[in-house]
Chains A and B, each alone.
Chain A
């Protein structure tokens, strides 16, 4: 279980995460949603102790991440597919990670099999496509057979086959009673694999509700998301027409 309470992160005058409170309960896939720059990744980095909160707390199974006696066996983390040295083979990367917790070679081979990386395990990670990098990241997260998984955009760059596989994987992990926190921009994907969604914008909580409830109220999860984040989008593209109007000096 992941518990985030009044979590705040400031970088100088910029507040990336602002008093965020939510819980990702066990046996559930919790979707984590928000526009670019909303503070999703910052929140995840604080949960796993890479960044220190300015105030507030984040705990896994009631403990601060830094106080976990065997982090890999408690929390599986995939934050970024580029969290690997490009000069190291996938096998050696996982082997080195496993050795920090005394996890044997058999389990390394097992997660390589689970993620379908057998054929490329001997290749250097720098030669991997984004999708293969994602699989390697997921393999690393599964290594310690953890009760909690934190996956940042796991389906990014995966082929349809891979997307389907991740969907089945996270559903299966939650069905075993594990906690899964998963961020994604793909609304249809979350509608299919998440039980609950936590929506944030500009570092603040906008919604924390079951997927069905949100989707029913607004027609679809996508509509619900767009309505919730309407005032919290940091970066918005404009149509050609809008750009032309802006150039001639006309206000909206």
Chain B
């Protein structure tokens, strides 16, 4: 029953054409963009980012609008910390989605070199998070309008440093999504990845600051102008966490007793938090079997 057809009859592309028909980085990016935008969770994450940003900024501005020296711009970044959570989860879901569902088999059979998939996921996630982040920042600005109007204060977005703060907010949200992606791609399972990501981004900085507060004597601290060494050490550590990088990027400046790395320094710290786990994930992809 062995029916052999002469190979000339078969529609097989020639070697030269085959090369141009294979997976290029641009094609893999297009594929990952289709994947990311075809999951409901991605759109939920984007919507929540905008909603959290708007709601918290609005509430913060309303609460402080009764202060005599109220400056609506002072509330601009108040929603960023928690608006980071949906992009973080989005990134984790993109990073773990292949491995936790078995879809990786399909993906890595199509792209056997594997690393282009991780690179494409980074591009797709950054682009999607950028769109969500820009909307979230616009929402935060709009959320300031009611309280500013109630006090008759004009909103001046061109004022010194404000454009930079707005840009910083966008970068923080995009960077957080990429941090989630990197941790997800490295750890491969969603629950451990979300846990680690939330610990690093939200819990650790707060816990460290609280612990330092407990350890230091409040009376001594207020008596002398300088920051106690223990607290300075904790603040230095916090500066090198994503939270510290975020406050540098959003123009809140350095915490006391810690080196002031500036906005560029903050950007570099956040970049390192993305690049290191991403590199480890790429190494794991390259050197190990995917099962």
Answer yes or no: are A and B bound together in one complex: yes
A73–B18 CB distance below 8 A: yes
Would B5 and A97 count as touching, CB distance under 8 A?
no
Q: Which residue of B lies closest to A46 (CB)?
A: B289
* Docked CA distance A52–B39 (Å): 31
- The stretch of B45-53, B107-115, B248-256, B260-268 in contact with A is B107-115
CB distance from B202 to the nearest CB of A (A): 26
Assembled-state Cα–Cα distance A219/B6 (Å)? 34
Considering residues B31, B106, B110, which has the most beta carbons from chain A within 10 angstroms of its beta carbon?
B106
Q: Report chain A residues within 8 Å CB of B40.
A: 87
Given contacts A101-B22, A175-B3, contact A83 B105 (CB under 8 A): yes
Q: Which of B96-104, B127-135, B217-225, B238-246 contacts A (4 or more CB under 8 A)?
A: B96-104
B43 to chain A, nearest CB (A): 11
* Proximity string of chain B (32-46) to chain A, C-beta cutoff 8 Å, 1 when within and 0 when not: 101100111100000
Q: Are A100 and B23 interface neighbours, CB within 8 A?
A: yes
Q: Check B112–A49 contact: CB distance below 8 A.
A: yes
Q: B289 touching A96 by the CB < 8 A rule? A: no
User: How far is A58 from B23 in the complex, measured between Cα atoms in Å?
Assistant: 21
Residues of A near B3 (CB, < 8 A) are 27, 174-175, 177
Partner of A84, one of B6, B7, B31, B106: B106
* Contact flags A12-45 to B (C-beta < 8 A → 1, else 0): 0000000000000011100000000000000001
Within 59-111 of A, Cβ neighbours of B (below 8 Å) are at 65-66, 68-75, 77, 79-80, 82-89, 92-93, 95-97, 99-102
Asked if B9 is at the interface of the complex by the 8 Å CB criterion, the answer is: yes
Residue of A at shortest CB range from B6? A177
Taken residue by residue from 165 to 199, chain A's Cβ proximity to chain B (1 for < 8 Å, 0 otherwise) reads as 00000000011111000000000000000010000
A154 to chain B, nearest CB (A): 15
Query: Quick check: B4 and A80 within 8 Å, CB to CB?
Result: no
- Whether, in the assembled complex, A50 has its beta carbon less than 8 Å from a beta carbon of chain B, the answer is yes
Question: Does B69 interact with chain A (Cβ within 8 Å)?
Answer: no
With beta carbons under 8 angstroms apart, the residue of B5, B19, B22, B97 that contacts A27 is: B5
Partner of B35, one of A45, A88, A101, A176: A88
Query: Cβ of A201 < 8 Å from any Cβ of B?
Result: no
User: CB distance B41 to A87 under 8 Å?
Assistant: yes
In the complex formed, the residue of B with least CB distance to A65 is B112
- For A87, the chain B residues whose CB sits under 8 A away are 39-41
The answer to whether B101 and A86 have CB atoms under 8 Å apart is: yes
How long is the Cα–Cα vector from A1 to B11 in the complex, in angstroms?
Answer: 15
Q: A50-B289, A50-B290, A71-B109 are in contact. Are A85 and B97 (CB under 8 A)?
A: yes
Contact in complex: B21, A101 (CB < 8 Å):
yes
Report whether A88 and B38 are in contact in the complex, using a CB–CB cutoff of 8 Å: yes
**Chain A residues within 8 Å of B23, by CB:** 70-72, 100-101
- Would you call A99 and B4 a contact (CB within 8 A)? no
Contact of B30 with A by CB under 8 A: yes
Q: Interface size (A, Cβ < 8 Å)? A: 48
Check if B113 sits within 8 Å of A66, measured CB to CB: yes
CB distance from B48 to the nearest CB of A (A): 17
Check if B102 sits within 8 Å of A80, measured CB to CB: yes
Q: Which residues of A contact B108 (CB under 8 A)?
A: 49-50
- Bound complex: CA A93 to CA B106 (Å): 10
CB-based nearest A residue for B97? A85
Q: Considering the complex, which residues of chain A in the window 198-242 have a beta carbon less than 8 Å from any beta carbon of chain B?
A: none
On chain A, the residues within 8 Å of B290 by CB distance are: 50-51
Contact of B22 among A26, A49, A69, A88 (CB under 8 A): A69
A132 touches B (CB below 8 Å)? no
Give, as a whole number of angstroms, the nearest-CB distance from A47 to chain B.
10
Q: Which of A72, A85, A178 contacts B110 (CB 8 A)?
A: A72
Minimum CB–CB distance from B146 to chain A (whole Å) comes to 37
Q: Are A66 and B12 in contact (CB under 8 A)?
A: no
A selection of 12 A-B contacts at a CB cut-off of 8 Å is A26-B4, A49-B112, A69-B21, A71-B112, A72-B110, A84-B101, A87-B41, A92-B38, A97-B107, A100-B31, A140-B106, A175-B5
Residues of B whose CB lies within 8 Å of any CB of A are 1-7, 9-13, 15, 18-19, 21-24, 27-28, 30-32, 34-35, 38-41, 97-98, 101-113, 289-291
Which 10 A/B pairs are nearest by Cβ-Cβ distance?
A177-B5, A70-B22, A92-B38, A27-B4, A83-B105, A99-B31, A51-B289, A96-B34, A85-B103, A82-B102
